[in-house]
Amino acid sequence: MLRPLDLILILVMVATATVTYTIKYSVEATYDEVRALDDQIALEQNNIDLLKADEALLTQPARMARLAEFFAAELDLHPAEPEQIATLDQLPPIKAEPVEEDLPPLMAGDAPDGTDIVITGSVTP
Kindly report, residue by residue over 80-100, the tens digit of the pLDDT: 887 777 777 888 888 877 666
Kindly report, residue by residue over 42-61, the tens digit of the pLDDT: 999 999 999 999 999 999 99
Return d(Cα 79, Cα 60) in angstroms, integer: 18
This prediction has a pTM of 0.47
Return d(Cα 43, Cα 39) in angstroms, integer: 6
Output 73 or 11, whichever has higher pLDDT. Answer: 11
Return d(Cα 123, Cα 64) in angstroms, integer: 68
Kindly report, residue by residue over 2-47, the tens digit of the pLDDT: 798 999 999 999 999 999 999 999 999 999 999 999 999 999 999 9
Output 113 or 74, whichever has higher pLDDT. Answer: 74
Output 7 or 113, whichever has higher pLDDT. Answer: 7
